[in-house]
Chain A
Amino acid sequence: MGMTMTQKILAAHAGLESVVAGQLIEADLDLVLGNDITSPVAIHEMEKMKVDGVFHKDKIALVPDHFVPNKDIKSAEHCKCVREFARKNEITNYFEVGEMGIEHALLPEKGLTVAGDVIIGADSHTCTYGALGAFSTGVGSTDMAAGMATGKAWFKVPSAIKFVLTGKPAKWVSGKDVILHIIGMIGVDGALYKSMEFVGDGIANLSMDDRFTIANMAIEAGGKNGIFPVDDLAIAYMKEHSTREFKAYTADPDAVYDEEYTIDLSTLRPTIAFPHLPENTKTIDEIKEDIAIDQVVIGSCTNGRLDDLRIAAEVLKGRHIKKGMRCIVIPATQAIYMQAMEEGLLKIFIEAGAVVSTPTCGPCLGGYMGILAEGERCVSTTNRNFVGRMGHVNSEIYLASPAVAAASAVTGKISCPCQLD
């Protein structure tokens, strides 16, 4: 029986000729990731294990990014725990404040994730690296601990849903609109336990940053992973960022899929997910009433990359955010921050009345740097709009693309750039 892209990668890492959906396997890991929230729990668990140290000091990445620069004493203690563990175990890829970025933007940029890899991370958005043709999936802290100790993890081989993307997205439509459209279509558990495999000639019309955004939110449909084929653009990205060998896998012609959807990207419209689930989507045209907002966040592992900042700056250039609004822009890594500075994007943001923050997950998960008060509404380029996610239990998050977020900051209500002027 034919295998999907995901199944081929898993088979190769389990030392098997082939695997089938539902099979339990043990796979070798190319990278194990943790952050400042999940790593301390993993480190504590690993200390309980009867092991001498980590399996490979180059194949672990520790990225304090959620509550750093340390937001309070307890967070500082967590970061200290991670730092000391990294030092003691001589972890090559520990990224201190000043080097760090939001983990899922940082690792591909640093060349640590390439096609054909099997990667686990104690962060649900670890599925991001599927954009490069890797199998990557989120796990908890105990799995991270076992992964750091042994270099292996057990998996149930997933079945898959195939998404055939065709056509070219219109102006102001980006990867965020594609993935919100899909989640709206299949629901927040539409891909539960499954791979989401993206194929089709429309992929050539999506930038790498678009693809990272799409793979990043596979988890919001319940997916185990999201994965793209390795094309010239992905190869160019890996060659620019990494010295590691990569391996491109393609699905067999007779691979079995549970479901198949064809999506013509040219028909998609700017899409917004209403509170309190990412599946509650409406296109900009379906929003008939004015939805007044208090805050805009542009950033996160979903949409804090250079393309995202360029789009937001294109909207905000020569405009000003509405009086009384707060607009928080968070470049996802130091390199993105620097490039945005050199391109003059940060100047545009500041002149428009936005604030620019150092890289952090901060407001996305209600940590700090933009917490909402009771009754407040935010348009955010982040990935979750659950109850209380960004602050008060009676606040609201509307998930959208950088284009819609920037336009909404200008008008003070949910808007598309096409509605400005």
Chain B
Amino acid sequence: MKKANGRVFKYGDNVDTDVIIPARYLNSSDPAELATHCMEDIDKDFIKNVKKGDIMVANKNFGCGSSREHAPIAIKAAGVDCVIAETFARIFYRNAINIGLPIIECPEAAKEIANGDQVEIDFDSGIIKDITTGKEYQGQAFPEFMQKIIAAEGLVNYINAGK
């Protein structure tokens, strides 16, 4: 799998899917349109500042609440290449894998990496490197079938490729 390398947007505990993409925008399912409102209720500057390849880091229970797949879709369409968190809510975890947004659980990295740090992630090994501080962390590497789903850009392509 490819590596990710980008600047970090850092958030706290229990970032819920209502703040990732508020329901008032769920009358659309267009990824580009959803991305324009991503995170706006807790960080209105996120969408102005995020660049393709950037990384989101948060503490525990990221993506809790609603099962809306629009949440990882919005994050991915905003340009984010990976989300690192201490823990993820389980529906968000499934959804992110299913749409091909890489996510990694790594409590140490989630605690220590600071907003604005430059971070590199090797998905094959699960190694997260904070280039700004020089510190390395061992995140959970994906099981092989999840790597294949992400490499195929989602579950549907993965299923189709197997037929």
Q: Which residues of A contact B (CB under 8 A)?
A: 37-38, 40-41, 44-45, 48-50, 66-67, 71-72, 74-75, 78, 122-124, 126, 138-143, 145-146, 188-189, 192-193, 219, 222, 224, 277, 365-367, 384, 386-389, 393
Query: Taking A41-B29, A277-B14, A365-B18 as contacts, is the C-beta distance between A387 and B42 under 8 angstroms?
Result: yes
A49 pairs with B159, CB closer than 8 A: yes
Contact across chains for B91 and A139 when beta carbons are under 8 A apart:
yes
Cα–Cα, bound, A345→B64 (Å): 36
Are B155's CB and A367's CB within 8 A?
A: no
Partner of B68, one of A75, A140, A189, A192: A140
B159–A146 CB distance below 8 A: yes
Q: Is B89 an interface residue (CB 8 A)?
A: yes
Q: Which chain B positions have C-beta within 8 A of A143?
A: 94-95, 98, 155
> Which among B19-27, B47-55, B107-115, B118-126 touches the partner chain?
B19-27
**A72: B residues at CB distance < 8 A:** 27
Docked Cα-Cα span, A49 to B41, in Å, equals 35
Q: Is B5 an interface residue (CB 8 A)?
A: no
Given contacts A44-B29, A143-B98, A222-B64, contact A192 B159 (CB under 8 A): no
Interface residues of A, dominant DSSP:
loop
Residues of B within 8 A of A384 (CB): 16, 18, 65-66
Complex contact A367–B69 (CB within 8 A) = no
Candidates B89, B154, B156; contact of A192 at CB < 8 Å: B89
CB distance from A225 to the nearest CB of B (A): 10
Can you name the residue of chain A whose Cβ is closest to the Cβ of B159? A49
The reply to whether A386 and B19 contact each other, CB–CB distance below 8 Å, is yes
The distance in angstroms between the C-alpha atoms of A2 and B159, with both chains bound, is 34
B90 within 8 A of A: yes
In Å, the complex CA distance between A45 and B159 comes to 11
Docked Cα-Cα span, A222 to B29, in Å, equals 25
Given A44-B29, A50-B160, A140:B94 Cβ within 8 A: yes
Known contacts A123-B66, A143-B94; 16 further A-B pairs (Cβ under 8 A)? A37-B26, A41-B69, A41-B73, A66-B26, A75-B27, A122-B67, A140-B72, A142-B156, A143-B95, A143-B155, A188-B64, A366-B23, A387-B42, A388-B19, A388-B41, A389-B23
Contact of B61 with A by CB under 8 A: yes
- Complex partner residue of A124 from B41, B60, B65, CB under 8 angstroms: B65
Residues on the B chain within 8 Å of A386, using CB = 16, 18-19, 65
Q: Please, which residues of chain B bring their CB within 8 A of the CB of A222?
A: 61, 64, 89-90
Closest residue of A by beta carbon distance from B61 = A189
Residues of A contacting B89 in the complex (Cβ-Cβ under 8 angstroms): 189, 192, 222
| B91–A188 touching, CB < 8 Å | no
7 contacts between A and B (CB under 8 A): A49-B159, A75-B27, A78-B29, A140-B95, A142-B69, A192-B89, A222-B61
The residue in chain A whose Cβ has the minimal distance to the Cβ of B24 is: A366
Does B91 lie within 8 Å of A387, measured CB to CB? no
A33 to chain B, nearest CB (A): 11
* Residues of B with C-beta under 8 A to A393: 41
A72 vs B23: C-alpha distance in the bound complex, in angstroms? 14
Looking at the complex, which one of B65, B68, B90 makes contact with A38 (CB distance below 8 Å)? Answer: B68
How many whole Å from B17's CB to the nearest CB in chain A?
Answer: 8
Least CB distance from A384 to B in Å reads 6
* B28 proximal to A (CB < 8 A): yes
CA distance A123 to B156 in the complex (A): 19
CA A133 to CA B138, docked complex, whole Å? 40
Q: How far is the CA of A74 from the CA of B33 in the complex (A)?
A: 13
Set A40, A50, A365: member contacting B66, Cβ < 8 A = A365
Contact of B67 (CB < 8 Å), options: A49, A138, A387: A138
- The answer on a CB contact under 8 Å between A142 and B95 is yes
In the bound complex, CA of A224 to CA of B94 (Å): 12
Q: How long is the Cα–Cα vector from A192 to B28 in the complex, in angstroms?
A: 29
| Residues B155 and A38 in contact, CB atoms below 8 Å apart | no
Of A38, A126, A139, A367, which contacts B24 at CB under 8 A? A367
At the interface, yes or no: B70 with Cβ under 8 Å from chain A? yes
Q: Quick check: A367 and B160 within 8 Å, CB to CB?
A: no
**Chain B 5-47 residues near chain A, CB threshold 8 A:** 14, 16, 18-19, 22-24, 26-29, 41-42
Q: A141: which B residues are within 8 A, CB to CB?
A: 69, 95
| Minimum CB–CB distance for A333 against chain B, Å | 21
Residue in B19, B60, B91 whose Cβ sees the most chain A Cβ within 10 Å = B91
Shortest distance between the CB of A273 and any CB in chain B (Å): 13
